[in-house]
Amino acid sequence: MRKILVFDTTLRDGEQSPGVNLSIEEKVEIALQLERLGVDLIEAGFAASSPGDFAAVKAVAERIKDARVVSLARAVEADIDAAWEALRGAAQPCLHTFLATSPIHRQYKLRMSKEEVLARVEAMVRYAAAKFPEVEFSPEDAGRTEHDFLVEVVTVAVRAGATTINIPDTVGYLTPEEYGYLFRLLREKVPGIEKVRLSAHCHDDLGLATANTLAAIQNGADQFEGTINGIGERAGNVAIEEVALALETRKGVYQATTGLKLTEIARTSRLVSRLTGMIVPPNKAIVGANAFAHESGIHQDGVLKEASTYEIIRPETVGFASNRLVLGKHSGRHAFREHLRALGYNLEGEQLDAVFRQFKELCDRKKQVTDDDILALVEQRLAHP
Ligand code: KIV
Ligand code: ZN
């Protein structure tokens, strides 16, 4: 089993979600929970971007001992210096610097030639490597960068002292085949690549972030970057819990694992949702309220007999107390009887059939039937058998 490092960027890329603004105290609270979850790196913010972000990176750096603490920095000396000031008290400080490399970004955003980009990468990675024990370099919009130029840029960054090369699919444009290929290409063409960590960083604009991250892992990525609940710019970043559970559930396919304490996932998800105000959709994989809920009678009957009939992950694995059998118009008699038992009533035979019939009629009339509704039906039946 290969161990894949988890780089959490909930506090940086995740905080870039429109409408999200975490206070320093909230960032520290999330960072401490991420440490409990067992992530390997925590990107605490972008120190040069504002005094508040500087203070948050510093505060996280002072509290976290078991994970590397990272600050983002543009490839300019002032940003790298600010990151160093914020991180110098960290047990394991790490710099993440980036420069866009795609033709679109070079022409319209940076107005830089390829030669200028290469020179800046060389100079700034070297500058950062003289201060930091670990330097990650990201060619922003790597996904839309010419392959030969990407190889050149990464070669320069590795030569200048980068210890991690991160390949961002910044706009979530690539397919799993295309993204996986980049990792094979770099492993094959960049001298000295075996000495550095290769990292995946996927956005979810086409809903492919998890598939792309898994493709990167299958093609040689040693680390992936993502956020809790998949929050982030636009459609978000890859959801850490999805990749971790795909690796865990399909070990035979990926032959790779994270060091995460999976039972901390539900707690971490709830905390991030509460503090960011970003609601987790009920059908969200792994952490949604319906991820372990069963409504149809056939499914409920199967799960009551043997959970693996309709559950590929046990809810306890990710820290939920149990699965949920939701009683509704699709529910069966078996689940209904079990639910009555949990409410303290052992109904059988004709009595059970009668209450079950009334329950189904009520489901057709009411959007949501509550336990109080069910208890009223039972009490009525017992009073007038
Ligand atoms: O998506 C992206 O390109 C980024 C970089 C800053 C690495 O988040
Ligand atoms: Zn990103």
List, for residues 84-98, the tens digit of each pLDDT value.
999 999 999 999 999
Q: Whose CA is nearest to atom 1 of ligand 1?
A: 170
Residue 194 reports pLDDT greater than 90: yes
* Token pair listed for 97: 């610097």
Q: Whose CA is nearest to atom 8 of ligand 1?
A: 13
Which residue, 47, 34, 38, 43, is CA-closest to 70? Answer: 43
Q: What H or E segment, with its residue span, contains residue 73?
A: strand 68-74
Residue 188 reports pLDDT greater than 80: yes
Q: How confident is the model at residue 356 (pLDDT cuts 50, 70, 90)?
A: very high
183 lines ligand 1 (CB under 6 A): no
201 lines ligand 1 (CB under 6 A): yes
List, for residues 287-334, the tens digit of each pLDDT value.
999 999 998 999 999 999 999 999 999 999 999 988 888 899 999 999
98 lines ligand 1 (CB under 6 A): yes
ipTM (interface pTM):
0.99
pLDDT confidence of residue 324:
87
Q: How confident is the model at residue 14 (pLDDT cuts 50, 70, 90)?
A: very high
pLDDT confidence of residue 337:
96
3-class DSSP state of 10: coil
Q: Return the ligand number nearest the Cα of 168.
A: 1
* Token pair listed for 240: 């850490």
How remote is the CA of residue 228 from the centroid of ligand 1, in Å? 16
Entry pTM: 0.94
Residue 255 reports pLDDT greater than 90: yes
List, for residues 116-135, the tens digit of each pLDDT value.
999 999 999 999 999 999 99
* Cα distance between residue 49 and residue 220, in whole Å: 33
| Residue 141 alpha carbon, nearest atom of ligand 1 | 3
Mean pLDDT of all residues in 186-193 = 98
Instruction: Compute the C-alpha angle 24/80/148, nearest 5°.
Output: 120
pLDDT confidence of residue 368:
85
Percent of all residues in the chain with a pLDDT value above 90, rounded to a whole number: 97
How remote is the CA of residue 378 from the centroid of ligand 2, in Å? 54
* Cα distance between residue 276 and residue 92, in whole Å: 26
* Cα distance between residue 343 and residue 338, in whole Å: 9
pLDDT confidence of residue 385:
77
* Cα distance between residue 127 and residue 160, in whole Å: 9
DSSP string, 305-341: H-GGGT-SS-GGGGT-S--EE--STT--HHHHHHHHH
pLDDT confidence of residue 381:
94
pLDDT confidence of residue 263:
97
List, for residues 101-116, the tens digit of each pLDDT value.
999 999 999 999 999 9
